[in-house]
Amino acid sequence: MKPWVLVIILVGALAGDWIFQRIMPGMIWLAPVTIIVAGMLSRDMSKSLPLLAVAALVADLFSGFPFGIVACILYATLGTIAFVKTRINFRDRALPFLLVFGYLFSFEFFAFLCLYVIIR
């Protein structure tokens, strides 16, 4: 995925998440899931990681949680994606395979976020 396409998709997701939070405060899901899917579909993780890290910080600003919590959880999820991508090639897989792994990585993000809410 080219960087400018990734920027347009992430800005759209962040704007959609911001609008969604005006309707239901505290509900974040569009921007983190988009960042996770963009991390899964990136050709070279080392090139797209700085952009995804900045997008995670921006998503964290609008999350409603204390600053740094959502970004750290997204960084942990992106680290898991980078580790799994060294073992499994996501580029040549069928859509059900991508959906299952996208669901698992999204579940990891929301499980850590729920763990933070429970512990806090």
The answer, yes or no, to whether residue 75 has pLDDT greater than 70, is yes
Into how many domains does the chain fold?
1
Q: How far apart are CA 53 and CA 72, in angstroms?
A: 10
Domain residues for the domain of 84 are 3-119
Position 78 confidence tier, pLDDT thresholds 50, 70, 90: very high
Q: For 89-102, what is each residue's pLDDT tens digit?
A: 777 778 888 889 98
Mean pLDDT of 70-80: 94
Between 5 and 72, residue with greater pLDDT: 72
16 is written with which tokens?
């959609």
Chain-wide mean pLDDT for the chain?
Answer: 87
